[in-house]
Every structure is written in structure tokens, then in C-alpha cells.
Amino acid sequence: MKLPPVEYEAPTTVAEAIDLLAEHLDEASVLAGGQSLIPLLALRLARPMVLIDINGIDELSGVSAVGGRVTIGAMTRDYVAEVSEAVANTVPLLAAALPLIGHEAIRSRGTIGGSLAHADPAAELPAVARALDAEFVVRGPSGERVIPAAQWFEGYLTTSRRPDELLLEVRLPAARRGTGISFQEVARRHGDFAIVGLAVSLVVSGEVISDARLAFAGMSHVPVRAAAAEDLLVGERPSAELFDEAARRATDDLDPPADLHGSSDYRKMVAAAMVRRGLRAAADNARERQ
Amino acid sequence: MVDITLRVNGATRTGSPEARKTLADFLRDDLNLTGTHIGCEHGVCGACTVIVDGRAVRSCLMLAVQAAGSEVTTIEGLAPDGGLGTLQQAMWDSHSFQCGFCTPGFVMQAAAFLGDHPDADEQQIREALSGNICRCTGYQSIIDGVLLAAERNREQ
């Protein structure tokens, strides 16, 4: 369908954008890449009075790797991050997830901040952010806040960003030595939303797993960590038996949604298989990178 | 209404679209470039794919006002002299279309991809075109056409 009538603002600075957000609050939607918001408008699932288009705010774009972490501006487009050496060298889990986002033409426009602020629980980037304990930097009329990923995703398409705040950037920790990663996804067609997705990051030091991070996409109303599996893995040597047990624990207390793509039970079965596969791939990856 | 100026297929164009008007509708209704087709109108089918500043984008997921200052190439701009470009000829030779509705989107996506990946193999081409939907051909002839174009480009 055609988009409904909507007012349009195109600020060129963060300060102007925040003024506009403070003025319009809940009646405004921030337009970044538009690859989720425009369909929501077309389908009348979102009806903002005002679009605040942040595409003209240059200071919101860019990738920088400084001091053990990578900082990605909210308006950085997916394809820019996809070809970024800083991302590839320091946050391999993000680099693995980026090519799985939508299709090539979607990544031409889609942005890192847009996907994370849209907070679709089936999307790739929220799972990566949750797995790596990313930090979200937002600014509003009363100043800046840094929000950890565990508090950022509040519910389905809902974050802890206040209506008068703008997401400026996301910070991701650089992968430590001995890190192995894997991003697993099952979708009916490559590029479609995952039925289940899984971000895995392991640190293997001296044959023993010293850090384990697993975050699911598509298994809940927010991206979720498999804490019980993580606890099991830390301190152990990678093995098929260990990964089988991790798969059981990872999915035990989950109650994933059912839809026409799969029942709740089906999602749990896929998720368990994915944990085994993802852990194996991440452990192999850690060995290769040592 | 917002006044915009952009380059379309090498020519400077101006317009005053409503903010809510997509680039797809602007190209078709305001600039009379009806080669860009609109299928699903919410970013799923890929029929409206055009090239903006060198990248394939879905023109139904971009507002016309956001294209101000950009360089846009549509299907009409691929072979400005009225003939067929290498990609179009190769797709013609491979019977890469049937009803033709999805064709402009496939051609623009393939053009953008081959521009960046002249040595692409079949798997990469399948991946690059995976966001475009065709309900007639079964895709094989489309892939064949793009592969043939890549081959002819390399021979030139």
C-alpha cells in the first residue's frame, strides 16, 4: 500500500534531532535506513505523525576500533559494516552475522542502529548485541546514557530508549585471543527472517572454555542468552558430550513463539540442534584462530 | 511537498513529491519512468530495485525526498541508446523472463552486483538475486542469463 500522510523532518545535527524528538515524543518515528519502518508504514502497523529522518546527520555514521572495542555510529549502513576491516578484525561475530541480514539491496540502506532500535527479536543484530553485551549510547534533552544490551531489549520491538532520546552509537567489545565464533540461522529462504538464529562466542584458553556466550534470535519476544548452557560450558574442555548437554540446558526453560513457519516444539528442536552445531563451529573457529 | 533535485539516468531532474511518496512512485508517476515495477510495495519482492549511488536499493523502501542529490539509475538508463546492454542481451538470449513483471528488478540487482563482482560464480549470483521473486521462470534461466553476461563481460 501507499504510505499514509505523514509530516517529515530532516535534521542535520544530533541536537536538532533531539529537539524534534522532544517536541513530538511518541508521535514521532526516527527514520534511519527505513527497511523495517517503511514496510510498517505501508502496512499501517505504525502510524507516526512525524518522521524524523536522520539520514542527513553525518556524525552518526562510521566505524572506529579504539581501546579494545569497536564503536559503530547508529546510521552506519549494514553494507559499510559488512566490508569494514575494523569489524572483520575485531568483532568477528558481527562480521559473520552481517551477510545474513535481509538481502543485498536491504543492506544497501539498512543501518546498524536502525535494526538495534527496531529490536525485532528474530533479527541478527539484536542477538549479536546481546551475546557480546554491547553498550548503547543514547542522548536526550537531559544528556547521555549508556545502556547495556541486557537492559536495552525490553520487549517485542521495544527498547529502553525514551521517546525523546536518539540512539547515537553502539559499542562492541573486541574479541579476545582464543575467541571462536559462529552465527547459525535456519530460514525458509536465505535472507528471510530466521525461524531460529543463534550467536555463539567462545573463548578457549589452554584447551578449556573460559568464556561462553550464546544468544538466540526468534526464540522469545527479545533476544535471549542461554545462561544455563553458558554456565555449564565455562571451565570445561570442548567435546561432543558437553555440547549435547549444553543443547539440552539451553532450550529447557524456553517457550518459543509458534507461527506459520514452525510450532513452538519445532523451534526448540531446531534451537537445540543449532546449539550443538554452533558450539562445534565456534570451537573449531577458536582452534583455527589460535 | 518537498522540492528535490536529483540525477536520474544521467539527467538532472527536479520534483516536488509529498514526503510520503516512495522513490518508486516518484520515478513512475512524476518522471514517467514506468520501467520500474512495483510488486509487493513493502520490500519483499524486489521488483522495484533501482541503483542509487552505485548500490542496488528497493525504491519502494526509500522516500523520494531521500534521493535528493543522489544519482539514480533505472532500467531505462541501462542502455540509453534504445538498444540492449550486455546484461540485457544475455538475459534475452537465455530466456530469463516470462511475463516480465519482475524483470526490471532482477536486471538492476544483477547489474549492480556484476559491477562489483565481475568474476561472480553461480552460487554468488544466486545469493545476490535471492531477494528478488519471480513467479514464472523457476529462476534457472535468470541465473543462466546473468552468468552468460558475466562471461561476455570478461571476454570483452
The residue ranges of DSSP E strands in chain B, in sequence order, are: 4-8, 11-15, 49-52, 55-58, 71-73
The confidence score (pLDDT) of residue A273 equals 97
Could you tell me where in chain A the CATH 3.30.390.50 domains are found? 179-288
Q: Cβ separation of B19 and A55 shorter than 8 Å?
A: no
Partner residue facing B62 (CB), from A102, A109, A191: A109
Name the amino acid, one letter, at A77: R
The confidence score (pLDDT) of residue A188 equals 81
Name the amino acid, one letter, at B21: K
Residue A144: pLDDT band by 50, 70, 90 thresholds?
very high
Q: Which residue has the cell 533476544?
A: A223
Q: Cβ separation of B58 and A105 shorter than 8 Å?
A: yes
Domains of chain B: 4-77 (3.10.20.30), 86-155 (1.10.150.120)
Task: Return the CATH architecture of domain A7-53.
Answer: 2-Layer Sandwich (3.30)
Report in angstroms the alpha-carbon separations of A130 from A111, A213, A215, A283: 17, 9, 6, 20
Nearest residue in chain B measured CA to CA from A5 = B20
| Angstroms from A85 CA to nearest CA on chain B | 18
Cβ–Cβ < 8 Å for A260, A187: no
| Angstroms from B9 CA to nearest CA on chain A | 19
The confidence score (pLDDT) of residue A261 equals 86
Cell of A53: 529522518
Quote the ipTM score. 0.94
The Cα–Cα gap between B3 and B12 comes to: 13
**Average pLDDT of the residues of chain A:** 96
Could you tell me where in chain A the CATH 3.30.465.10 domains are found? 62-172
| Angstroms from B11 CA to nearest CA on chain A | 23
In CATH terms, the fold of domain A62-172 is 3.30.465
The confidence score (pLDDT) of residue A240 equals 97
How far out from the chain centre does Cα A274 lie?
Answer: 18
* Chain A residues touching B59 at Cβ < 8 A: none
* Chain B residues touching A38 at Cβ < 8 A: 22, 42-43, 60-63
Residue B25 touches chain A, beta carbons under 8 Å: yes
In CATH, the number for domain A179-288 is 3.30.390.50
Q: Cβ separation of A34 and B62 shorter than 8 Å?
A: yes
Pairs from B36-41 (Cβ < 8 Å, separation ≥ 24): B36/B74, B36/B75, B36/B104, B37/B101, B37/B102, B37/B103, B37/B104, B37/B105, B39/B101, B39/B102, B39/B105, B39/B133, B41/A1, B41/A2, B41/A42
Could you tell me where in chain A the CATH 3.30.43.10 domains are found? 7-53
Residues of chain B with pLDDT under 70: 80
Percentage of chain A lying above the pLDDT 90 cut:
92
* Chain A residues touching B57 at Cβ < 8 A: 105, 108-109
